[in-house]
């Protein structure tokens, strides 16, 4: 039993097509850490996050979360681990035809029996907490709207609330602001950062903007070609390091990469 919240050793992911997305990643995360994972698109950031809650099956290596071996967990154990890990996605991934409130309450499914969750039998307390979360991000007037009626920035705030509704110990945020304008980006990053700090949630957030990473993170990890090439406090990340991480893809450092295909290559 380690003293870390999350401990990853020798994590490797090979896709069936033969591309190696991750090779031998070692990473320890303490509770309450706010870690930014930076790197160019295609470096393996998404795969790393998705291996932690096994939305992507790792090829080898060990992942230990709060004393549980995630990589060896059976279906039931995996669901328990997942219920304690919130996730935020680049494309929000809301269920469009459900209400905002229902989408937030999806965060509670992992704590309910299969049948109760199927029929949306959420407790009144859960509902009140979900509404409180929505109020906190300024969406209390939108909670009965359908998710597809919201703007991108609003949708991502719902995504943040869904992750927080899980009362997780760790939040994985996969490019949470890559599809948003600068103003919405600030609102969303603030919401993630403030809530994690208040509730003592550790956070791993994939970003490609170095400036944003430096502003929020307590620690920065740089990933390039599936290998970890930087690990240290934001002050230690010099322009020289950043240039090395983004070598050949410098244009992605400060803005959203142009021409990135959102569908197929997102997880590569």
Using CB under 8 A, list all residues that contact another protein. Answer: 53, 55, 78-87, 89, 91, 93-99, 101-102, 105-112, 114-115, 117-120, 122, 124, 127-128, 131, 144-146, 159, 162, 166
| Least distance between another protein and beta carbon 51 (Å) | 12
User: Which residues have CB under 8 Å from 167's CB, separation 6+?
Assistant: 199
Q: Helices H, strands E: what count in the chain?
A: 9, 10
Q: Which of 162, 220, 219, 212 is nearest to 190 (CA)?
A: 212
Name the burial class of residue 227, with classes exposed (0-12), middle (13-18) and buried (19+) by CB atoms within 10 angstroms of its CB.
middle
Which lies closer to another protein via its Cβ, residue 158 or residue 221?
Answer: 158
| Least distance between another protein and beta carbon 113 (Å) | 9
Backbone φ and ψ for 64, nearest 5 degrees, come out as -120, 125
| Least distance between another protein and beta carbon 180 (Å) | 16
| Least distance between another protein and beta carbon 49 (Å) | 10
Q: First-to-last CA distance in the chain?
A: 32
Which lies closer to another protein via its Cβ, residue 43 or residue 81?
Answer: 81
Distance CA 30, CA 5 (A): 5
Q: Which of 55, 53, 2, 50 is nearest to 22 (CA)?
A: 50
Which lies closer to another protein via its Cβ, residue 166 or residue 185?
Answer: 166
Which lies closer to another protein via its Cβ, residue 87 or residue 196?
Answer: 87
| Least distance between another protein and beta carbon 95 (Å) | 5
Which lies closer to another protein via its Cβ, residue 152 or residue 234?
Answer: 152
DSSP 8-state secondary structure symbol assigned to residue 233: -
User: Which residues have CB under 8 Å from 6's CB, separation 6+?
Assistant: 27, 28, 29, 52, 63, 64, 65, 66, 170, 202
| Least distance between another protein and beta carbon 166 (Å) | 6
219-224, strands of its sheet edge to edge: 85-88, 170-174, 202-207, 34-38, 219-224, 227-232
Which lies closer to another protein via its Cβ, residue 164 or residue 223?
Answer: 164
How many angstroms from the chain centroid is the CA of residue 37?
10
Q: Which residues pair with 257 in a beta bridge?
A: none
| Least distance between another protein and beta carbon 134 (Å) | 12
Which lies closer to another protein via its Cβ, residue 29 or residue 172?
Answer: 172
């Amino acid at each position: 039993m380690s003293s870390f919240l999350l401990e990853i050793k020798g994590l490797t992911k090979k896709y069936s097509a033969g591309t190696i997305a991750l090779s031998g990643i070692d990473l320890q995360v303490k509770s309450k850490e706010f870690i930014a994972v930076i790197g160019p698109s295609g470096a393996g950031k998404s795969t790393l996050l998705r291996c932690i809650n096994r939305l992507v099956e790792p090829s080898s290596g060990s992942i230990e979360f709060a004393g549980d071996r995630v990589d060896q967990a059976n279906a039931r154990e995996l669901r328990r681990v997942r219920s304690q890990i919130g996730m935020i996605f680049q494309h929000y991934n809301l269920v469009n035809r459900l209400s905002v409130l229902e989408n937030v309450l999806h965060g509670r499914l992992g704590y309910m029996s299969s049948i109760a969750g199927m029929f949306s039998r959420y407790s009144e307390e859960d509902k009140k907490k979900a509404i409180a979360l929505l109020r906190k991000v300024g969406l209390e007037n939108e909670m009965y709207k359908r998710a597809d009626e919201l703007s991108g920035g609003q949708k991502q705030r719902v995504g943040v609330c869904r992750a927080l509704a899980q009362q997780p110990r760790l939040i994985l945020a996969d490019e949470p602001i890559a599809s948003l304008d600068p103003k919405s980006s600030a609102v969303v990053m603030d919401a993630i950062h403030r809530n994690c700090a208040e509730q003592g949630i550790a956070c791993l957030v994939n970003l490609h903007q170095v400036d944003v990473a430096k502003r929020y993170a307590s620690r920065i990890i740089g990933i390039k070609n599936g290998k970890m090439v930087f690990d240290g406090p934001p002050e230690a990340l010099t322009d020289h390091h950043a240039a090395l991480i983004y070598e050949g893809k410098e244009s992605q450092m400060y803005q959203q990469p142009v021409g990135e295909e959102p569908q197929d290559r997102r997880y590569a």
